Structure 1
């Protein structure tokens, strides 16, 4: 959907001396941050929002660069105990007791430049079994700390050792590397509709954090029919790979298309952009290997535009397909009505005729469309489904040609950009 300057290499230990007044100066200056959606238990849906963080600060502190070598085991599929076996993550084991006796325990956290992930357990009072309503009432709000205000990116989980326990994980925006203490704000919605907020704070240990494997600024772009897609940054971490960019298009696209990521010629994943015009973000799985020889992004498809230069004949309708550019249009019928003529046209689901100048030629005159119906499905004999609409025209003359400027559709581009792996900071 979150460095090319570095291959997977052994992190070197770095000694960092922070001035004693650094925190105060930074606070004054900066007053006041496939996520891949994992399967959620059928009986549990989580209302998202924040959790805690890690990392260094104050005095002389050591930032050991993770004795972590990225391996082929995806952290996304592991429990926290298994994550710890991989040699990463910080154990927290900090609990918060709610007013009704329910206990929230933060088991541990891991962090990188893409996400902050919290592993937690919720235990209902002894002898109490959870229900759907029990867990819908809880939500993570945010994680606060020095220069940190991290929002939830979502998460999931499943029942634990018995029916009174839930084991979950939740991801958040990255936290500041200067936070020493993080505070999770946790909400509970009571039966009367009121919200009760709790907070739980814990220390963060810098030497347990994970850093990005690859973090690189890009200057790559791909031309599409109505502009250019620019790729600005790539961050590959042990939890995910995120590519960020922006659009320079004539208009915001109806659909973002599909992009694939290849590492050493092997497809890591494919995704569609999460966009906030004009910016977008692509999130993929983590790299599958620590030996990087090539990284490629392939724009498989994206919104396209085809200009229709010639009028389309309406002489012999009856579910007749007409090839127009890469797509087909089906002229289903031309029917006389009390006020003129109705023309039924079918097309693929994500093909859209431009309607601003849609018209017909009839009796030597150009007649603009008077009304357009809602789209409706048309099921073919082979099981495929097309989408049809009725276009009405006020004229007594028999329609001869359909006039349309063009159509938007999902176009196959299959354009590739290669990201160099030999850059170094």
Structure 2
């Protein structure tokens, strides 16, 4: 993966490029979050929050080479915010039990723990040593994560080690060094859950694509007044020729529209080099989106040599950034067919320019501008646009569906969502049903509205012809509940959580760690998990061994909970749950 190329794509709004960047260092991200929050559940939540924040703020990143240190800073800040909300920001206070000696080495009958050793340091020194020696971050990254200069980061590490030597000294300091190395090795063994990529992709899919316009609304309004006298925007769609060469990258609806000749054929070729050229095949446009199809030709192979990538779309009162893209390469590797989606251009733009970026000799250089004629009168007519203005209420919030815009390429529903607390992936179990058939889900997103509510947008496939009945169905919605469950672990146990069975398959001690293996229906998450032992209560350290199977038509999730103790677990304690609650609410759209 080329870092600069991927960052550039991400800055233009490519969610796939951003996800690729994160997954390239998924272990490092996950372990960093884990060091701060101390359990898988919160680490995963922090990762989801981080990728959304990075997506929203990546335009602020000036140096692509600083992406990883910059994004890790966002992750750590998110972890600290999470801890603050949970009233456990100062981690070292959580480690110490009341009445314990301040010197862990005074207890010869028990193993010295790394957490107890770092209690000898102040918060900043302990954080610096964890980042440097346990996570093995370089000083530059550690400094950015802590929000200090490199010199200050080095000073905190130096002062921390000095304090440890003064406290322990001699043979005991050798034990400190050993524990730091052991902790670093233990951290390397911690792996992110198998569903990390799916959860990050879902978190991103629920964010609206970036919509940026380079002109002020007042200027646009003035321009419209000047032009209205000489140009009228036709209301009817134009049925033209079929766009040739784009079939391989079209989905079902777009393929059908193209077969019916409902696109605008461009078929204009531009030379890029001696053996390289690009053809803009055509566009399909309606009120919801603008889709451009192109073909890149290179006799030596489209994946060899320089890289040419379509970027921004500009024109009269128009500056649109790429929302998404997909490509297909021919078997002989000499031809690449692509589809790019943008927001629709201004209705009065008669000429558009596609800006082609050029990557050469490991850096981006000046590309080319491909200008072509555009016929807004060939835009497809919107089927219908109307208000819905109906509200569905849940245990912890509500959604008001405001409007629907049904165009030939896609159906978009907009609304507002109010939640009593943050919930991950709240929109993925909402369906649009046309004459009894569930339409294909295309994506969803939400954006904060001054903390009072979220603007939401749901996207589905285009509506069928001759439609008789259309309805929104809210099948389920995620909820969080507090509870206090204690399950004995003397034998296999099955306990109920809101009518769902959770089975304790086995428990014990293995490889120096207590473990509890459980299975439940997919979608149920346990919060505030700990075990009770002879020595006291031990919080969940991390989860491993995620496995998903089908049983009687239901998805079953098995995982093993690990706890940092050698004591035999006596009971499993659960303080809360997150799950999908069935609502099955229907909204008729007239």
TM-score normalized by the length of structure 1: 0.69
Q: What secondary structure does 1:28 align onto?
A: helix
Q: Is 1:146–1:178's contact at 8 Å kept on the other side of the alignment?
A: yes
Residue 266 (1) aligns with residue 457 (2): no
CA distance in 2, matches of 1:175, 1:394: 64
For residues 217-240 of structure 1, what are the alpha-carbon distances to aligned partners after superposition, in whole Å with 9 as ceiling and x for unaligned?
Answer: 332222233211232332111011
Q: Is 1:232–1:243's contact at 8 Å kept on the other side of the alignment?
A: yes
Structure 2 match to 1:95 = 269
Structure 2 match to 1:411 = 581
Q: Is 2:238–2:378's contact at 8 Å kept on the other side of the alignment?
A: no
Q: Is 1:57–1:179's contact at 8 Å kept on the other side of the alignment?
A: no
Q: What secondary structure does 1:404 align onto?
A: strand
Structure 1: runs of 5+ lacking an equivalent: 1-23, 33-55, 421-425
Match of 1:375 among 544, 550, 570: 544
CA distance in 1, matches of 2:309, 2:327: 14
Structure 2 match to 1:28 = 219
CA distance in 2, matches of 1:226, 1:405: 18
CA distance in 2, matches of 1:29, 1:279: 24
Structure 2 match to 1:120 = 294
Q: What secondary structure does 2:424 align onto?
A: coil
Match of 1:285 among 455, 461, 467: 461
Residue 326 (1) aligns with residue 499 (2): yes
Q: Is 1:258–1:270's contact at 8 Å kept on the other side of the alignment?
A: no
Residue 193 (1) aligns with residue 369 (2): no
Change (3 A) 1:360 1:193: closer
How many correspondences in the alignment?
356
Match of 2:560 among 358, 377, 388: 388
For residues 296-350 of structure 1, what are the alpha-carbon distances to aligned partners after superposition, in whole Å with 9 as ceiling and x for unaligned?
Answer: 1112233133443x633316432x2212213222234454799997655444453
Deviation at 1:380, TM superposition (A): 7.5
Structure 2: runs of 5+ lacking an equivalent: 1-214, 240-246, 449-453
Residue 148 (1) aligns with residue 324 (2): no
Q: Is 2:350–2:373's contact at 8 Å kept on the other side of the alignment?
A: yes
Structure 1 match to 2:399 = 229
Q: What secondary structure does 2:313 align onto?
A: strand
TM-score normalized by the length of structure 2: 0.52
Q: Is 1:352–1:409's contact at 8 Å kept on the other side of the alignment?
A: yes
Deviation at 1:259, TM superposition (A): 1.9
Structure 2 match to 1:13 = none
Q: Is 1:260–1:271's contact at 8 Å kept on the other side of the alignment?
A: no
Deviation at 1:284, TM superposition (A): 1.2
Change (3 A) 1:63 1:140: same
Q: Is 1:350–1:410's contact at 8 Å kept on the other side of the alignment?
A: yes
Q: Is 1:111–1:211's contact at 8 Å kept on the other side of the alignment?
A: no
Structure 2 match to 1:18 = none
Deviation at 1:411, TM superposition (A): 3.0
Deviation at 1:159, TM superposition (A): 5.0
CA distance in 1, matches of 2:278, 2:221: 32
Q: Is 2:431–2:438's contact at 8 Å kept on the other side of the alignment?
A: yes
Q: Is 2:502–2:518's contact at 8 Å kept on the other side of the alignment?
A: yes
- RMSD of equivalent CA atoms: 4.0
For residues 230-265 of structure 1, what are the alpha-carbon distances to aligned partners after superposition, in whole Å with 9 as ceiling and x for unaligned?
Answer: 323321110111222332112332223322211123
Match of 2:414 among 236, 244, 251: 244
CA distance in 1, matches of 2:295, 2:289: 20
CA distance in 1, matches of 2:267, 2:319: 22
- More helix by percentage: 2
Q: Is 1:114–1:174's contact at 8 Å kept on the other side of the alignment?
A: yes
Residue 300 (1) aligns with residue 475 (2): yes
Q: Is 1:139–1:186's contact at 8 Å kept on the other side of the alignment?
A: yes
Query: Please, which moves more after superposition, 264-273 or 247-256?
Result: 264-273
